[in-house]
Amino acid sequence: MIRVLFVCMGNICRSPTAEGVFRQFLSQQNLLARVEVDSAGTHGYHVGESPDPRTQRAAASRGYDLSEIRARRVVLQDLEYFDLILAMDKNNLDALKRICPPELTAKLQLFMSYAKNFDDEEVPDPYYGLGHGFDLVIDMVEDASSGLIESIIEKLPGAKAGRKRPLKTA
């Protein structure tokens, strides 16, 4: 089992989008039993809340359901439990590094390092922007999720990279 945690600041826009998109991609590849996915925030501003309504609308327009996700804050146990902890931007990566024991920092990465079609290092926070930013976030998350799936398939015992099905975005 490979465990992946997506992290943004409040866990109501970017990281729940990544969780929902990536979960659907895993389902398409029949990997839900082999990969665990979750999301969290570096700040506790929205603990217990659903994703931002604009995030949910943008995701739903592409066939992703984020309605069951609830915001939570990253805790030390997450850093121990998850194999891969993917931050949406450098500020949140830095926040994770500040609380992460030195022996676990190799688990921390920027999510966009898996993207193939975007050169951006960070997924921009759409919270204070106009509505189109939520669609851009989904575009970026779909791209990075495709690259992440490929990377994970290569690491899974018995998985063959040539056997994976193409990912379909909603």
Query: Partners of 120 in the beta sheet?
Result: none
| Segments of the chain scoring below 50 in pLDDT | 161-166, 170
**pLDDT tens by residue, 106-120:** 999 999 999 999 999
Which residues are designated catalytic?
A: 8, 14, 125
Report the pLDDT value the prediction gives residue 156, as an integer from 0 to 100: 84
Topology of the domain comprising 2-157:
Rossmann fold (3.40.50)
Q: Please name which of 126, 94, 125, 99 lies closest in space to residue 110, comparing C-alpha atoms.
A: 94
- How high is the pLDDT of residue 159? 61
Summarize pLDDT for 59-72 with one digit per residue, the tens.
Answer: 999 999 999 999 99
Residue 50, token pair as written in the block? 């659903």
Hunting for tokens 């669609």 — which residue is that?
135
| Whole-prediction pTM | 0.92
| Domain layout of the chain by residue ranges | 2-157
